[in-house]
Structure 1
Amino acid sequence: MRAILTAILALVASVMFATPAYAGDVAAGERVFTNNCATCHAGGSNAVISSQTLKQEALEQYLFNYGTEHNVDAIAYQVANGRGAMPSFQGRISDKAIADVAAYVKAQSESGWQE
């Protein structure tokens, strides 16, 4: 009984304190990208670590949990939390802006970063 109650409380807490999920807006994400990301990632490149671009093959290889199914949440996680030379944007831009830029990066990477 105690295990069931603990599980229920954990579930309720995770729902109450979860970060809201937003469906990303690609057009809004382009503005977020231009204002926050393009300095290092213009055209999907990477000015700091040239092999770790935002191109499809590199995202599949280097981005944790992105895989061949192109998980947009993996991009949002990277933007929010940063890793290595990439800074965290959590608290610097809104959760909505993170979802928007993730949608934009996914769309651009899938189209080969066509302008």
Structure 2
Amino acid sequence: MKKTLILLSMLLAVSVTACARKDGTTTPSPAPAGSPAASPAASPAASPGGTTAAAGQTIYKQNCVSCHGDNLQGGVGPNLTKVGGKLSKDQIVTVVSNGRGAMPAFKGRLSDSDIGSIADWLATQK
């Protein structure tokens, strides 16, 4: 029983740390073929906040893919393919900023502008 608890604790710790780097820096990665970058929702259309969907998607790829998947399919974190139909942009900002459940808070790791860009982009995923 103790081994199982220790293993689960280690898995959770690795999962949480994989979601973002502690120093707040990110490493850009190119979008693979067939990823959301190739979808119409990822086109660089301007959002109401003046950011672009492409900027939100790029920030997502740099910080969220390890838990939520390159196609929003989920994995360690939940599936986000239709998150825009379930949560408003403001609700998404709150979750990204403050965290939820095992998801860490990104306030202080990402700028308010970056969090807004991610929320803009995720809000279009319906």
The bucket for the TM-score relative to the shorter chain is 0.5 to 0.7
Number of residues of Structure 1 aligned to a counterpart in Structure 2: 77
Residue 66 of structure 2, aligned match among 25, 39, 45:
39
By percentage of residues, which structure has more helix? 1
Identical residues among aligned pairs (%): 34
Aligned equivalents of 2:83, 2:104: Cα separation in 1: 22
* 2:57 matched residue in structure 1: 30
Q: Which residue of 1 aligns with 2:116?
A: 99
CA RMSD of aligned residues (A): 2.2
Deviations 1:51-84 (A, max 9, x none): x311227962xxxxx2xxxx11111111001011
What secondary structure does 1:92 align onto?
A: coil
Higher relative contact order (CA 8 A, sep 6+): 1
Within-5 A mapping of 1:42-61: 42=69, 43-49=71-77, 52-56=78-82, 60=86
> Please, what TM-score do these two structures have when normalized by structure 1?
0.59
Contact 1:25-1:99 at 8 Å conserved across structures: no
Q: One-letter code of the match for 1:83?
A: R
**Unpaired runs of at least 5, structure 1:** 1-21, 61-65, 111-115
2:91 to 37, 57, 74: 74
Are 1:33 and 1:101, in contact at CA under 8 Å, matched by a contact in 2? yes
Structure 2 residues without counterparts, runs of 5 or longer:
1-47
TM-score (norm. length: structure 2): 0.54
**Counterpart amino acid of residue 32 in structure 1:** I
Larger radius of gyration: 1
Q: Secondary structure at the match of 2:116?
A: helix
Aligned twin of 1:16: none
Query: Does residue 87 of structure 1 match 2:104?
Result: yes
CA distance in 2, matches of 1:84, 1:94: 21
